[in-house]
Protein backbone atom coordinates (compact mmCIF):
# COMPACT_ATOMS: atom_id res chain seq x y z
CA UNK A 1 0.00 0.00 0.00
CA UNK A 2 2.78 2.37 0.94
CA UNK A 3 4.62 1.73 -2.32
CA UNK A 4 1.51 2.26 -4.42
CA UNK A 5 0.44 5.48 -2.64
CA UNK A 6 3.93 6.96 -2.87
CA UNK A 7 4.18 6.21 -6.58
CA UNK A 8 0.73 7.42 -7.60
CA UNK A 9 0.76 10.71 -5.67
CA UNK A 10 3.86 12.08 -7.48
CA UNK A 11 2.57 10.84 -10.85
CA UNK A 12 -0.78 12.52 -10.28
CA UNK A 13 0.85 15.79 -9.23
CA UNK A 14 3.19 15.82 -12.22
CA UNK A 15 0.26 15.22 -14.58
CA UNK A 16 -1.58 18.12 -12.90
CA UNK A 17 1.48 20.32 -13.34
CA UNK A 18 1.51 19.53 -17.05
CA UNK A 19 -2.17 20.41 -17.20
CA UNK A 20 -1.56 23.72 -15.41
CA UNK A 21 1.46 24.65 -17.50
CA UNK A 22 3.37 22.20 -19.66
CA UNK A 23 6.64 24.16 -19.38
CA UNK A 24 6.60 23.93 -15.59
CA UNK A 25 5.61 20.27 -15.87
CA UNK A 26 8.63 19.65 -18.04
CA UNK A 27 10.84 21.56 -15.64
CA UNK A 28 9.64 19.44 -12.73
CA UNK A 29 10.91 16.34 -14.49
CA UNK A 30 14.53 17.54 -14.62
CA UNK A 31 15.39 16.88 -10.93
CA UNK A 32 13.52 13.56 -11.14
CA UNK A 33 15.58 12.42 -14.10
CA UNK A 34 18.83 13.56 -12.45
CA UNK A 35 17.84 11.90 -9.15
CA UNK A 36 16.93 8.66 -10.90
CA UNK A 37 20.24 8.70 -12.76
CA UNK A 38 22.07 9.04 -9.42
CA UNK A 39 20.00 6.20 -8.02
CA UNK A 40 20.81 4.05 -11.05
CA UNK A 41 24.51 4.67 -10.45
CA UNK A 42 24.10 3.71 -6.81
CA UNK A 43 22.36 0.47 -7.75
CA UNK A 44 24.97 -0.34 -10.37
CA UNK A 45 27.88 0.18 -8.00
CA UNK A 46 26.37 -1.32 -4.87
CA UNK A 47 23.99 -4.08 -5.82
CA UNK A 48 26.50 -6.60 -7.03
CA UNK A 49 27.98 -6.51 -3.52
CA UNK A 50 24.58 -6.77 -1.86
CA UNK A 51 24.59 -10.55 -1.48
CA UNK A 52 28.14 -10.52 -0.11
CA UNK A 53 26.97 -7.90 2.36
CA UNK A 54 24.11 -10.07 3.61
CA UNK A 55 26.36 -13.12 3.76
CA UNK A 56 28.83 -11.20 5.85
CA UNK A 57 25.99 -10.10 8.18
CA UNK A 58 24.71 -13.69 8.42
CA UNK A 59 28.23 -14.93 9.24
CA UNK A 60 28.55 -12.36 11.98
CA UNK A 61 25.16 -13.27 13.44
CA UNK A 62 26.00 -16.97 13.37
CA UNK A 63 29.32 -16.40 15.10
CA UNK A 64 27.67 -14.28 17.79
CA UNK A 65 25.07 -16.99 18.42
CA UNK A 66 27.78 -19.66 18.48
CA UNK A 67 29.82 -17.54 20.88
CA UNK A 68 26.92 -17.02 23.25
CA UNK A 69 25.81 -20.67 23.08
CA UNK A 70 29.32 -21.95 23.66
CA UNK A 71 30.07 -19.60 26.53
CA UNK A 72 29.89 -22.43 29.10
CA UNK A 73 32.38 -24.62 27.28
CA UNK A 74 34.62 -21.68 26.50
CA UNK A 75 34.80 -20.77 30.19
CA UNK A 76 35.41 -24.37 31.29
CA UNK A 77 38.36 -24.75 28.93
CA UNK A 78 39.60 -21.25 29.58
CA UNK A 79 39.42 -20.38 25.89
CA UNK A 80 38.00 -16.87 26.32
CA UNK A 81 40.83 -15.33 24.37
CA UNK A 82 40.54 -17.56 21.26
CA UNK A 83 36.81 -17.45 21.19
CA UNK A 84 36.63 -13.71 21.69
CA UNK A 85 39.25 -13.18 18.99
CA UNK A 86 37.11 -15.09 16.49
CA UNK A 87 34.09 -13.06 17.51
CA UNK A 88 36.08 -9.84 17.20
CA UNK A 89 37.48 -10.84 13.79
CA UNK A 90 34.09 -11.51 12.30
CA UNK A 91 32.64 -8.24 13.64
CA UNK A 92 35.63 -6.34 12.27
CA UNK A 93 35.21 -8.07 8.89
CA UNK A 94 31.58 -7.00 8.84
CA UNK A 95 32.50 -3.45 9.78
CA UNK A 96 35.17 -3.25 7.04
CA UNK A 97 32.84 -4.73 4.48
CA UNK A 98 30.01 -2.38 5.42
CA UNK A 99 32.23 0.69 5.30
CA UNK A 100 33.66 -0.36 1.92
CA UNK A 101 30.15 -0.95 0.59
CA UNK A 102 28.83 2.36 1.88
CA UNK A 103 31.84 4.22 0.48
CA UNK A 104 30.82 3.04 -2.97
CA UNK A 105 27.09 3.75 -2.50
CA UNK A 106 26.92 6.81 -0.30
CA UNK A 107 27.98 9.52 -2.78
CA UNK A 108 25.22 8.43 -5.15
CA UNK A 109 22.76 7.91 -2.34
CA UNK A 110 23.47 11.43 -1.03
CA UNK A 111 23.12 12.83 -4.56
CA UNK A 112 19.71 11.31 -5.24
CA UNK A 113 18.41 12.08 -1.75
CA UNK A 114 19.39 15.75 -2.22
CA UNK A 115 18.29 16.24 -5.82
CA UNK A 116 14.99 14.38 -5.82
CA UNK A 117 13.10 16.41 -3.21
CA UNK A 118 14.17 19.69 -4.85
CA UNK A 119 11.58 20.02 -7.57
CA UNK A 120 11.39 23.71 -6.81
CA UNK A 121 15.09 24.11 -7.52
CA UNK A 122 14.58 25.00 -11.17
CA UNK A 123 10.91 25.82 -10.97
CA UNK A 124 11.30 28.71 -8.54
CA UNK A 125 13.77 30.81 -10.56
CA UNK A 126 12.44 29.88 -14.01
CA UNK A 127 8.77 30.14 -12.91
CA UNK A 128 9.43 33.50 -11.20
CA UNK A 129 11.11 34.78 -14.35
CA UNK A 130 8.14 33.61 -16.43
CA UNK A 131 5.74 35.21 -13.93
CA UNK A 132 7.61 38.52 -13.93
CA UNK A 133 7.84 38.61 -17.71
CA UNK A 134 4.10 37.97 -17.96
CA UNK A 135 4.45 34.54 -19.59
CA UNK A 136 2.80 32.83 -16.63
CA UNK A 137 -0.01 33.88 -14.29
CA UNK A 138 1.13 34.31 -10.67
CA UNK A 139 -1.71 32.17 -9.26
CA UNK A 140 -0.67 29.23 -11.45
CA UNK A 141 2.96 29.62 -10.44
CA UNK A 142 2.10 29.60 -6.73
CA UNK A 143 -0.16 26.58 -7.11
CA UNK A 144 2.42 24.58 -9.08
CA UNK A 145 5.15 25.50 -6.58
CA UNK A 146 2.98 24.33 -3.68
CA UNK A 147 2.26 21.06 -5.46
CA UNK A 148 5.93 20.52 -6.25
CA UNK A 149 6.76 20.15 -2.55
CA UNK A 150 4.59 17.05 -2.29
CA UNK A 151 6.41 15.13 -5.05
CA UNK A 152 9.92 14.69 -3.66
CA UNK A 153 9.22 13.08 -0.25
CA UNK A 154 6.68 10.61 -1.70
CA UNK A 155 9.02 9.73 -4.51
CA UNK A 156 11.90 9.17 -2.09
CA UNK A 157 9.73 6.90 0.04
CA UNK A 158 8.75 4.92 -3.06
CA UNK A 159 12.41 4.54 -4.04
CA UNK A 160 13.39 3.44 -0.55
CA UNK A 161 10.60 0.93 -0.75
CA UNK A 162 11.92 -0.31 -4.11
CA UNK A 163 15.33 -0.72 -2.45
CA UNK A 164 13.80 -3.42 -0.26
CA UNK A 165 13.27 -5.73 -3.22
CA UNK A 166 16.86 -6.96 -3.49
CA UNK A 167 16.78 -7.63 0.26
CA UNK A 168 13.57 -9.56 -0.16
CA UNK A 169 15.08 -11.51 -3.07
CA UNK A 170 18.01 -12.53 -0.92
CA UNK A 171 15.86 -13.45 2.06
CA UNK A 172 13.36 -15.39 -0.02
CA UNK A 173 16.10 -17.36 -1.74
CA UNK A 174 17.68 -18.19 1.65
CA UNK A 175 14.27 -19.20 2.94
CA UNK A 176 13.62 -21.36 -0.12
CA UNK A 177 16.97 -23.06 0.38
CA UNK A 178 15.83 -23.92 3.90
CA UNK A 179 12.43 -25.12 2.75
CA UNK A 180 14.01 -27.25 0.00
CA UNK A 181 16.11 -29.06 2.57
CA UNK A 182 14.83 -32.64 2.73
CA UNK A 183 12.98 -33.28 6.00
CA UNK A 184 14.41 -35.74 8.51
CA UNK A 185 13.13 -39.24 7.98
CA UNK A 186 10.69 -40.30 10.62
CA UNK A 187 10.01 -43.90 11.49
CA UNK A 188 6.44 -45.07 11.91
CA UNK A 189 7.32 -48.02 14.10
CA UNK A 190 6.54 -48.00 17.78
CA UNK A 191 9.36 -48.77 20.18
CA UNK A 192 9.67 -52.51 20.60
CA UNK A 193 13.32 -52.66 21.65
CA UNK A 194 14.58 -54.59 24.61
CA UNK A 195 16.00 -52.34 27.30
CA UNK A 196 17.68 -49.05 26.54
CA UNK A 197 21.25 -49.89 25.62
CA UNK A 198 22.47 -47.42 23.03
CA UNK A 199 24.69 -48.69 20.25
CA UNK A 200 26.40 -46.99 17.35
CA UNK A 201 27.29 -49.46 14.59
CA UNK A 202 29.76 -48.29 11.99
CA UNK A 203 28.13 -44.84 11.95
CA UNK A 204 29.22 -42.51 9.16
CA UNK A 205 28.23 -38.91 9.03
CA UNK A 206 29.32 -35.62 7.48
CA UNK A 207 27.82 -32.14 7.80
CA UNK A 208 28.31 -31.14 4.21
CA UNK A 209 30.82 -32.79 1.91
CA UNK A 210 33.34 -33.56 4.61
CA UNK A 211 32.85 -36.74 6.62
CA UNK A 212 33.18 -36.13 10.37
CA UNK A 213 32.45 -39.61 11.77
CA UNK A 214 34.20 -42.39 9.85
CA UNK A 215 32.52 -45.58 11.00
CA UNK A 216 32.07 -45.13 14.75
CA UNK A 217 30.99 -48.17 16.78
CA UNK A 218 30.35 -48.17 20.50
CA UNK A 219 27.83 -49.41 23.03
CA UNK A 220 26.58 -47.50 26.02
CA UNK A 221 24.95 -49.70 28.60
CA UNK A 222 21.61 -48.76 30.04
CA UNK A 223 21.88 -47.11 33.45
CA UNK A 224 25.57 -46.27 33.08
CA UNK A 225 27.34 -43.05 32.32
CA UNK A 226 29.55 -42.87 29.25
CA UNK A 227 32.19 -40.22 28.87
CA UNK A 228 33.31 -39.29 25.38
CA UNK A 229 36.86 -38.05 25.36
CA UNK A 230 38.56 -36.62 22.34
CA UNK A 231 40.15 -33.61 20.75
CA UNK A 232 38.05 -30.59 20.02
CA UNK A 233 36.36 -31.15 16.68
CA UNK A 234 36.69 -34.92 16.83
CA UNK A 235 32.89 -35.35 16.79
CA UNK A 236 31.72 -35.83 20.39
CA UNK A 237 28.85 -33.35 20.18
CA UNK A 238 28.00 -34.65 16.72
CA UNK A 239 27.61 -38.13 18.15
CA UNK A 240 25.21 -36.82 20.81
CA UNK A 241 23.24 -34.88 18.20
CA UNK A 242 22.91 -37.96 16.03
CA UNK A 243 21.56 -39.94 18.97
CA UNK A 244 18.71 -37.47 19.38
CA UNK A 245 18.23 -37.56 15.59
CA UNK A 246 19.26 -34.00 15.00
CA UNK A 247 20.55 -35.15 11.60
CA UNK A 248 20.16 -38.24 9.42
CA UNK A 249 23.24 -40.45 9.36
CA UNK A 250 24.98 -41.34 6.10
CA UNK A 251 25.82 -44.92 6.95
CA UNK A 252 25.64 -47.55 9.70
CA UNK A 253 22.99 -47.65 12.39
CA UNK A 254 22.15 -46.13 15.74
CA UNK A 255 20.09 -48.43 17.92
CA UNK A 256 18.29 -48.11 21.21
CA UNK A 257 17.46 -51.42 22.81
CA UNK A 258 18.44 -53.07 19.54
CA UNK A 259 15.96 -51.01 17.48
CA UNK A 260 17.06 -48.55 14.83
CA UNK A 261 16.25 -44.97 15.61
CA UNK A 262 14.61 -43.34 12.60
CA UNK A 263 17.28 -42.36 10.15
CA UNK A 264 18.95 -43.63 7.05
CA UNK A 265 18.17 -47.22 7.84
CA UNK A 266 14.40 -46.92 8.21
State yes or no: residue 72 binds ligand ATP (CB under 6 A). Answer: no
State yes or no: residue 230 binds ligand ATP (CB under 6 A). Answer: yes
Q: Applying CB under 6 A, which of residues 25, 235, 252, 263 lies at the interface with ligand ATP?
A: 235
Q: What is the DSSP letter of 226?
A: -
194-203 per-residue burial string, b: 16 or more CB within 10 A, e: under 16: eeebbbbbeb
State yes or no: residue 234 binds Mg ion (CB under 5 A). Answer: no
Determine the Cα–Cα distance for residues 148 and 32; give it in Å rounded to an integer.
Answer: 11
State yes or no: residue 249 binds ligand ATP (CB under 6 A). Answer: no
Q: Evaluate whether 147 touches 31 at the Cβ level (below 8 Å).
A: no
Choice between 66 and 174, CB closer to Mg ion: 66
Stretch that binds Mg ion, among 14-22, 187-195, 229-237, 258-266 (CB under 5 A): 229-237
- Chain centroid to CA 126: 45
Determine the Cα–Cα distance for residues 84 and 179; give it in Å rounded to an integer.
Answer: 33
Choice between 54 and 87, CB closer to Mg ion: 87
State yes or no: residue 244 binds ligand ATP (CB under 6 A). Answer: no
Q: No. of H helices and E strands in the chain? A: 9, 4
Dihedral of CA atoms 114, 115, 117, 118 in degrees, nearest 10, equals: 110
Q: Which does 238 bind (CB under 5 to 8 A by kind): ligand ATP, Mg ion, none?
A: ligand ATP
What minimum distance in Å lies between the beta carbon of 71 and ligand ATP?
Answer: 13
Please list the alpha-helical segments (H only) found in 21-137. Answer: 22-46, 50-69, 71-76, 80-115, 120-132
Which residue from 50, 62, 61, 57 is spatially nearest to 170, judged by alpha carbons?
50
Q: Which does 235 bind (CB under 5 to 8 A by kind): Mg ion, ligand ATP, none?
A: ligand ATP
What minimum distance in Å lies between the beta carbon of 211 and ligand ATP?
Answer: 10
Binding mask 139-158 for Mg ion (x = CB under 5 A): --------------------
Q: Evaluate whether 186 touches 48 at the Cβ level (below 8 Å).
A: no
Stretch that binds Mg ion, among 77-85, 126-134, 140-148, 234-242 (CB under 5 A): 234-242
Measure CA of the first residue to CA of the last residue in the chain; give whole Å: 50
Q: Which does 79 bind (CB under 5 to 8 A by kind): Mg ion, ligand ATP, none?
A: none
Q: Which does 81 bind (CB under 5 to 8 A by kind): ligand ATP, Mg ion, none?
A: none
Q: Applying CB under 6 A, which of residues 236, 245, 255, 264 lies at the interface with ligand ATP?
A: 236
Residues near ligand ATP (CB under 6 A): 207, 212, 230, 232-238
Amino acid sequence: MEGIANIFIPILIIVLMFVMDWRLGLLSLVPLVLGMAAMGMMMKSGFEKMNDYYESAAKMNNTIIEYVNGMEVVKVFNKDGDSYRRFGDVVRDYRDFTIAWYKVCWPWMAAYASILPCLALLMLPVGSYMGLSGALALDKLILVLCMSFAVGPSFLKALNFAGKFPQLDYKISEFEKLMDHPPLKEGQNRFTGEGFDVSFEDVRFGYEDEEVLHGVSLTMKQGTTTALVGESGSGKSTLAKLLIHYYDIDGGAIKIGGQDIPGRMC
